[in-house]
Structure 1
Amino acid sequence: MDSTLLQFIRHLRDHELRVSTAETLDAMQVVACLGYGDRLLLRDGLASALAKSEDEQRRFRQCFAQFFDFSDDTQDDTASAADPVGGESQGDEGLAAGDGEGEGQGGAGGGGQGSEGLRADVMRAADAAQLASLQYPTQRGIYRRRLLDALNDGERRDSIARLAEGSPEERARSRWLTAQREQQLVMIAELLDRQLLLSNQSSSRSLQESLMRNSPLSALDHYYRGRLPPLIRKLAKKLAAKHRPRLRSAKRGQPDIRRTLHRSVAYDGVPFKRYWRHRRREKSDIYLLCDLSGSVGRWSQVLLLFVQALAEVLPRSRCFVFCGESIEVSDILREHPADDAVALIQQRHGLGSSDYGRALRSFRASVEGTLSRRSTVMILGDGRGNGGDSGIDALRYLYQHSRLLLWLNPEPVSRWYTGDSEIRRYQSACHHVAECGSLRQLEYLLDELLTRLP
């Protein structure tokens, strides 16, 4: 199996290009047909098998250039590509005269190869040394030694030292082998640098994503907040794939006599295939109410991005935002791209301080006619109404007329009952109150919600 190709596919996956097992087998057939000689032809061939959209084509070309950018500028001079003592055969004779060890050393040192042959030797040594496991600069010396051992560098140095003390032809052969060894050392240094860059790119990306998922949003600076939307879309895509409805044939229930008899006509009336009646479960209605005030505005933006990205599995959802009176923003989320929609909502409705009493009463008036036992209501806010009306009566109405009322609080639990927080009163009128200060917590809560929805 081609280890270089497998490393390249791992590099593609590290850069968020999905490559299946079947596509990997197709790529192996492409490499078997085209080889590694023509890089442009190889790039186009692998792109036809692995890249499935224009965006993936662009990222594939970037990854290909990063991975296969190895020492194309290092070229042998004519004098170094040929044996300086009159050709490869004369060099082999000179080595044969050197205590009978020149033949083995010629194989180790390249035996008259040009730069392509030396590069091939280095790449084979990299496979033998498992260079793909190199991750930290402190491992550089270890893997350099492994590469040199795979190239039989110790025997080559001994032969160079012995030939340097022999006849003029042997000394010329020694200088030629020394030049080849130095050229391979340069190739090894470039290969180690490239592998460190590739490993650090994938590991640093994974580390940043883990940091953004586990840290409270309030602790992330502006640099990381700007990188949140792509990560949110990635997490939402994973949730959507997990909870996408799957069509299955019913295998139990009441027999569907009409359908069974109708299909048995093709078998002379023999009911080879049996069909069953099953009830179609009604989809849940999702109502989302988000606080856009300064204290929790960024969490509401994240939740709105999640809900918009989950439109495939949450088709019957309505989104509301508030600082004072609640306002429906479902049309804005449907008509604009995710980032533009959230920025537009924040610009139009995100100014002011929270008034939970006014917001809950206006929200009740908006959904009162459509709320049913199939409805799920999610409210995101810290429950701090600045000493105003709490609107607990409207919240109790939502609790009594919905299937599930879930309150998401971005504050740590230790701060829920401090200051002007009304979350203790709101807990008595909710089915569940949960902390959602980080992306991981929010992802977990949405996963649990989608699991329980019909």
Structure 2
Amino acid sequence: MADKVITDFIRALRSADIRVSTGESIDAARAVRLIGYADRAKLADTLRCVLAKSPEEKATHDRLFDLYFSRALDTASKSVSNAAPGDTETDTTSDDMLSLIESGDEAKITIALAKAGQEAEIQDIEFSTQVSFFAQKMMKSMGLERLDTKMMDAFRRLTDEGEGEAEKLIEARREMFMRARNYAQQAFETYGAGATETFRQEFLSEKAITQLDRRDLERMRTLVEKLARRLAVKHSRRRSKKNRGQLDLRKTLRKNAGFDGVPFELLWKNNKRDRPKIVAVCDVSGSVASVVRFFLMLIYSLNDVVPDIESFAFSGRLESVGDILEQQDFSAAMDEIIFRIGMSSTDYGQSFSDLKMDHWNVIDRRTTLIVLGDGRSNYGDPRVDIFSEAASRAKQTIWLCPEAESQWGSGDSEIPRYRPYANRMVHVRTIKDLERVLDEVLASYN
């Protein structure tokens, strides 16, 4: 029983997007065998230490622990208290639904529901729309067909006594279905809610940013934070590994001279690598603004791996916006930036001139210069010469364009004129596209 309880709990954690390795699963099972289930607080602390790593994972663990173990331990304790001496399993199959409900024995009802849930494989539930389906499967496991047969027989008698019995059976059926449905709902919240949220996030990550509505914004904020954590973990590990460099043979031999040259302690050459630095120049006019919002949210969520970020916004004139984004609530800061800066007629040439005049020193050989905009400059001078000069100062230059490539060069689009000076010119339409670009940027520093 113990191993299955832990296995199913780990399954619930994994469905909520918490990564649990095989080794961690084994450690959790061993720990539980040592401390037992009697002290729930100690059990929760132990499993949290073994299975959850980040603060977000710990919060998810605590929520699922309360959901899962309130039911699992309650069922186990009632099963033990109702078992006759020498019994290895409590028998509830001989009780039909009517006698089960009429008995008022909560322990037996709880055990019957748990057994029915196990037989219905309720841990496979993934979506809220499956709650009624699994409740029905549980009902069948508890003898729904026998109950329905009894009910029909009572109706066919066409007597007051038969009608009274039928009403009792209908009430028992209704009561047990509600209990089964509540059980299935709790199982969904334990096993399926995380998977459903992951599915929704995957859908949103592939949805065009310009098609998102206000209802999606809070979920998108959670998604962006999740993507940022994933990138941070990936590149922190990769950078740590690369920084170790090659074995320093001379220092290793000197350090281990007292051990007859046996290398008990290895010393490595340190690879000196540039720390990531991003300068973001963003067009916040018109439909481009919605893409900028999520791009800046993503890069400012990466401050653990990109401590050096300079951001600028423009439509007519260019302004530094880093202080606003760092000091205010992000959503309020973006609203202010778009309202204050994004209402002018777009002028890429003037904005690049402002960059050179006021902020040229932020671009150096460590810099990844990222320009986010559609390149439409209302037929003004695009100052390609300044963009070319900025690109030559930077480590690399990437232009992110929300418009499809088929639109580049149409009307007042100056993208083809800027394109030769960018290391990459990328069409971005989804949050997944933005993640992919930043993944490649961070990889270039490893």
**TM-score tier after normalising by the smaller chain length:** 0.7 to 0.9
Are residues 1:33 and 2:36 paired? yes
TM-score for both structures, normalised by structure 2: 0.74
Inter-CA distance 353–139: structure 2 relative to 1 (3 Å threshold): same
More helix by share: 2
Task: Give CA deviations for 1:136-161 in whole Å, capped at 9, x if unaligned.
Answer: 68867864565356446668999999
Of 377-386 and 136-145, deviating more is 136-145
Summarize the alignment of residues 299-318 of structure 1 with structure 2, pairs less than 5 Å apart.
299-318=291-310
Instruction: Note if contact 2:373-2:400 (Cα within 8 Å) is conserved in structure 1.
Output: yes
> In structure 2, the residue corresponding to 1:34 is in which secondary structure?
coil
User: Which of 113, 117, 131 is the equivalent residue of 2:122?
Assistant: 131
Residue 205 (str. 1) matches residue 197 (str. 2): yes
Q: So what's the TM-score if we normalise by structure 1?
A: 0.72
User: In 2, Cα distance between the equivalents of 1:272 and 1:68?
Assistant: 47
Q: CA deviation at 1:269?
A: 6.6
Question: Percentage identity across aligned positions?
Answer: 24
Instruction: Choose the corresponding residue for 2:442, options 442, 447, 450.
Output: 450
- Which is worse superposed, 347-356 or 196-205? 196-205
- Could you tell me which residue of structure 2 aligns to residue 223 of structure 1? 215
Structure 1 residue 18 displacement after superposition: 6.4
SS of the aligned residue for 1:352 comes to coil
Cα offset, 1:389, TM superposition = 1.4
Q: CA deviation at 1:428?
A: 2.1
Does residue 238 of structure 1 match 2:230?
yes
| 1:349 shift after superposition | 3.2
How much does 1:315 deviate? Answer: 2.0
1:322 aligns to 2:314 (yes or no): yes
SS at match of 1:433: strand
The equivalences for 1:150-299 within 5 A come to 150-151=141-142, 182=173, 184-195=176-187, 201-244=193-236, 245-247=239-241, 252=246, 257=250, 259-260=251-252, 262-267=254-259, 275=267, 277=269, 279-299=271-291
Q: C-alpha displacement at 1:402, in angstroms?
A: 2.3
For structure 1, which runs of at least 5 residues remain unmatched after alignment? 36-40, 71-87, 89-102, 163-173
In 2: Cα distance, 1:379 partner to 1:419 partner: 20
> What is the Cα deviation at residue 228 of structure 1?
2.0
TM-superposed deviation, 1:409 = 0.3
Determine the structure 1 residue equivalent to 2:374.
382
1:42 to 40, 64, 77: 40
Identify which range, 354-363 or 276-285, moves more after superposition: 276-285
Question: In the aligned structure 2, how far is the partner of 1:150 from the partner of 1:25?
Answer: 34
Structure 1 SS opposite 2:418? helix
How far, CA to CA, are the matches of 1:332 and 1:104 in structure 2?
Answer: 65
Correspondence for 2:392 among 384, 390, 400: 400
Query: How far apart in 1 are the matches of 2:114 and 2:271?
Result: 61
Q: How large is the RMSD of aligned CA atoms in angstroms?
A: 4.4
Which runs of no fewer than 5 residues in structure 2 stay unpaired? 72-83, 85-90, 154-164
Q: What are the Cα deviations for residues 158-200 of structure 1, in whole angstroms up to 9, with x where unaligned?
A: 99999xxxxxxxxxxx99x979975655533433454456676
Point out the more displaced range, 342-351 or 291-300: 342-351
Question: What is the letter of the counterpart of residue 405 of structure 2?
Answer: V
Q: Which amino acid aligns with 2:123?
A: A
1:431 counterpart letter in structure 2? N
The structure-2 alpha-carbon separation of the partners of 1:105 and 1:133, relative to structure 1 and needing over 3 Å to count, comes to closer
Q: What secondary structure is seen at the aligned counterpart in 2 of 1:306? A: helix
Structure-2 separation of matches of 1:216 and 1:25: 43
Task: Quote the Cα distance in structure 2 between the aligned partners of 1:349 and 1:137.
Answer: 44
CA contact (8 A) 1:43 1:64 kept: no
SS of corresponding position for 1:239: helix
In structure 1, C-alpha distance between the alignment counterparts of 2:132 and 2:207, rounded to whole Å: 35
Q: How many residues align?
A: 405
C-alpha displacement of 1:394:
0.3
Structure 2 counterpart SS, 1:311: coil
